[in-house]
A and B are shown apart, each in its own frame.
Chain A
Amino acid sequence: MVSQSLPHAGPHAGAIEDRRLGGAGWLEWVHEWVVTVDHKKIGLMYIVYALIFLAIGGAEATIMRIQLAFPESHFVSPQVFNELFTMHGTTMVFFMGMPILFGFANYLVPLMIGARDMAFPRLNAFSFWMTAFGGLLLYFSFIGGSGVYGAGSAPNVGWWAYAPLTAKAFSRGHSTDYWTLALLLSGIGSIGAGLNLVVTIFCMRCRGMTLAKMPMLVWLNLVMGGMVLGGIGPLTASQLMLCVDRYLGGHFFDTQAGGSAIMWFHFFWIFGHPEVYILVIPAFAFASEIIPVFSRKAIFGYPVMVAATLAIAFLSFSVWAHHMFATGMPSYGNAFFVLTSMVIGVPTGIKIFNWLGTMWGGKLIFSTAMLFCIGFLFQFLVGGLTGIMLATAPFDWQLNDSYFVVGHFHYMLVGAIIFTVFAAFYYWYPKFTGRMMDERLGKWHFWLMLIGFHMTFDPMHITGILGMPRRIYTYEPGRGWAIWNLIITIGVFIQIVAVGIFVWNLIRSYFRGKLAGNDPWDAWTLEWATSSPPPPYNFAVEPAVQSRRPLWDLKHPDDPDWKYE
């Protein structure tokens, strides 16, 4: 019987009242976390690691924005500025974005499929520590080289590290080496994490959970894991080639020896474009779990949502050269990538429509998590539309490498991904800690973040149209860019306040938040069937499910989902 398959809170539920750290037990506490192979602990480590790098990457952005607030400013030197934008991009993509999404996936996927842990717990730990080490190696570069004064030898070639700027001739010293080696290491971590997700989802689902009955978050992380397997390899290969050039005197990207700089562009973007979908698909996952619960309706069009995600994953490997429209590819080449880049907009739009369809006719509850998801929907829509503009190659010949693109991709990375990550925090924090986050502080966080986000990233579209290229450490007065840059910078400080409130909420709620219980949101997937936080073994008895929403079936025995699926 179904009810017997869904156990109640385990014996650890009571332990959350006792939240004291201290005494000689701290060494054991550290040891427990360092050697753990438990997916929940590893997930939390990924998340905390990512939050630290969110702060560091945010600091880098803030310094850049102060430099750019006024024309011909001398707040930082060009050398430091170029290191800052390189480190900001590299940090946010590889040491904030990937870890936080792997962290949530690690914690939630085994719970949602009724499993005890990931398929390969030791590989899980290994992957986390590889990623962590990569980040530390990257940041060691700030104190390497000539030392902290003069910002050491942090990489300064942009996060795409275009050849031949990365050749020994143009990139003397070790700054590029830090970039290459740190990402080779974290790439191994990413591949391990992706592999683990795919195997876990294929091989460890509980009884009754066919692929067609998995929660959306599980499907989307399966697709993301698969994309990691296919997409990270090209970056690894490119970086190995760069190592051969820099250390062994090879000529992969050596234009003096007949090598091709543009081959780097191709190989990098064959990784780079799937990478941005690897980042955004888990964001879709969060929205696909949270929006239904706060609309009190099942997700609209589950099979179409799954099919659209698969289509996006497949197509994302065919669009890469839309980052290269200005490189002088022949017209038919450009036209091909215009077509694929526009076609990928169709399944993406379908997803927006389905989320809208989920809300339609529902009973919307504006919890903080739902507010962030609504913000996501608007911002992802706008970002997708500016993406269509960028896909029209001739228009891209003007917009590419200008602040318009910077606005576009921050709409996706911050407006879509970070907003859904915030939503995920508010939604699953009770499950991770047993306590609710404060909703009042949450609303302050949301509104300040919304205002700050738009104040910063909307004007970037304008400065791009006015001809401001990206990656410049300063600009002339009289170009009409100054006022917008000032507004952009002010928006950053509003976002800092918003994130500060969020961090305060995280810390305070851990000690003083309202007790959550198993299922504070009246939700429908398996993670809400166990205690908050779950016991180490997740479920006392392996669950068995009949539909996509096993808890709905339990709560509505007269109207279960499996009658309609």
Chain B
Amino acid sequence: MSAIPAALMPREEDWKLPSRGKTGMLCLIAAESAIFTIFVVAYIYYIGKSLSGPTPAQILHVPIFDTVCLLSSSLTIHWATGALRRGKSKAFLLWWGATLALGLKFIAGTAADWYRMIYHEGFTVKTNLFGTTYYSLVGLHASHVIVGLLGLLLVFVFALAGKVKPEHAERCEVFSYYWHFVDFVWVVVFTVVYLIGR
């Protein structure tokens, strides 16, 4: 065998590869982004094309407070994972719980708004093109929020039982990427539906 110069062999500590969890979550986010993009494009394409029925301006109530809640929850989850990394389990519990509460408020707000539109105004996915694209896009987002809430709840229950330790910080951070993605999608949806489309 050849005498390979030591300089060419990577040293033990030098072989650093990206984290599997983070890379995996980024890949999932990429795939989900592709799906959301198509729904957003369909929404934008159909703006103003409904043949009948209520227009966005006539029926939508802009969910400012719910949006503030959801976007704040990105901040609280960031503080939560930071606290866990530094071993501050009480702070972690507080901020993680706040994230869960803010997310729940958002979903409750969406549910209430949909209840109003469906049962009081009679505006459903069948009503017109706007109805179809609105409920599909916001609904797709809401389903992703619900999946996120289930994850948040699971970790919260474990944390209440004292099982979440600093060595789990990396995993919580991976999960937080998903939550940040959900919030980012809401920024896009909010802009397209409530700002541009109205």
Contacts and interface: CB of A to CB of B under 8 A. Distances in A.
B2 A208 contact: no
Contact of A553 (B2, B32, B38, B140): B2
A250 B132 contact: yes
B75 to A, nearest CB: 28
Contact of B34 (A232, A241, A245, A259): A232
Contacts of B93: none
B57 interface: no
A171 interface: no
A203 B38 contact: no
A304 to B, nearest CB: 24
Given A1-B4, A195-B27, A546-B4, A208 B9 contact: yes
B167 to A, nearest CB: 19
Given A233-B38, A237-B39, A199 B31 contact: no
Given A241-B136, A558-B2, A195 B126 contact: no
B20 A120 contact: yes
Interface string A180-210: 0000000000010011001100111101100
B34 A233 contact: yes
Interface in B1-56: 1-2, 4, 8-10, 15, 17-20, 23-24, 27-28, 30-39, 42, 45-46, 49-51
A229 B42 contact: no
A233 B37 contact: yes
A248 interface: yes
Given A198-B23, A199-B24, A257 B9 contact: no
Contact of A234 (B1, B15, B34): B34
A544 interface: yes
B23 A3 contact: no
A229 B1 contact: no
A269 B137 CA distance: 21
A257 B129 contact: yes
Contact of A546 (B9, B35, B128): B9
Contacts of A230: 30-31, 34
Contacts of B126: 248-251
A240 B136 contact: yes
B23 A562 contact: no
B24 A195 contact: yes
B45 A263 contact: yes
B2 A557 contact: yes
A475 interface: no
B133 interface: yes
B59 interface: no
A198 B24 CA distance: 8
A259 B35 CA distance: 20
A258 B20 contact: no
Contacts of B45: 260, 263
B39 A258 contact: no
B31 A237 contact: no
Chain A, interface size category, equals 35 or more
Contacts of A560: 2
Given A205-B17, A238-B38, A263-B42, A252 B132 contact: yes
B23 A229 contact: no
Contact of B17 (A194, A204, A557, A558): A204
A252 B42 contact: yes
A258 B127 CA distance: 12
Nearest to B34: A233
Contact of A241 (B24, B33, B42): B42
A244 interface: yes
Interface in A97-130: 119-120
Chain B, interface size category, equals 35 or more
A477 to B, nearest CB: 45
B125 interface: yes
A203 B39 CA distance: 32
A195 to B, nearest CB: 4
A236 interface: yes
A314 to B, nearest CB: 14
B125 A250 contact: yes
A158 interface: no
B50 A258 contact: yes
A126 B28 CA distance: 15
A557 B24 contact: no
A2 interface: yes
Given A1-B4, A259-B129, A557-B1, A199 B20 contact: yes
Contact of A244 (B18, B31, B136): B136
A258 B34 contact: no
Interface in A1-44: 1-3
A232 B31 contact: yes
Contact of B20 (A194, A203, A251): A203
A270 B42 CA distance: 13
Contacts of A270: 38
Interface centre among B39, B50, B132 (most CB of A within 10 A): B132
Contact of A207 (B15, B20, B33, B129): B15
Contacts of A544: 9-10
A316 to B, nearest CB: 14
A257 B51 CA distance: 6
Contacts of B31: 191, 194-195, 228-230, 232-233
A133 interface: no
A199 B23 contact: yes
A553 B49 CA distance: 65
A244 B38 contact: no
A162 interface: no
Given A204-B20, A250-B125, A258-B49, A2 B35 contact: no
Interface of B: 1-2, 4, 8-10, 15, 17-20, 23-24, 27-28, 30-39, 42, 45-46, 49-51, 125-126, 128-129, 131-133, 136, 140
4 tightest A-B CB contacts, nearest first? A233-B34, A237-B38, A249-B126, A557-B2
25 contacts: A1-B4, A3-B1, A120-B24, A198-B23, A199-B24, A208-B10, A208-B15, A232-B34, A233-B34, A234-B34, A240-B136, A240-B140, A241-B136, A244-B125, A251-B128, A251-B132, A252-B42, A252-B132, A252-B136, A260-B46, A546-B8, A546-B9, A554-B1, A557-B1, A560-B2
Given A229-B27, A237-B36, 11 more contacts: A119-B23, A119-B24, A207-B10, A208-B15, A229-B31, A232-B34, A233-B31, A233-B33, A233-B38, A244-B125, A257-B50
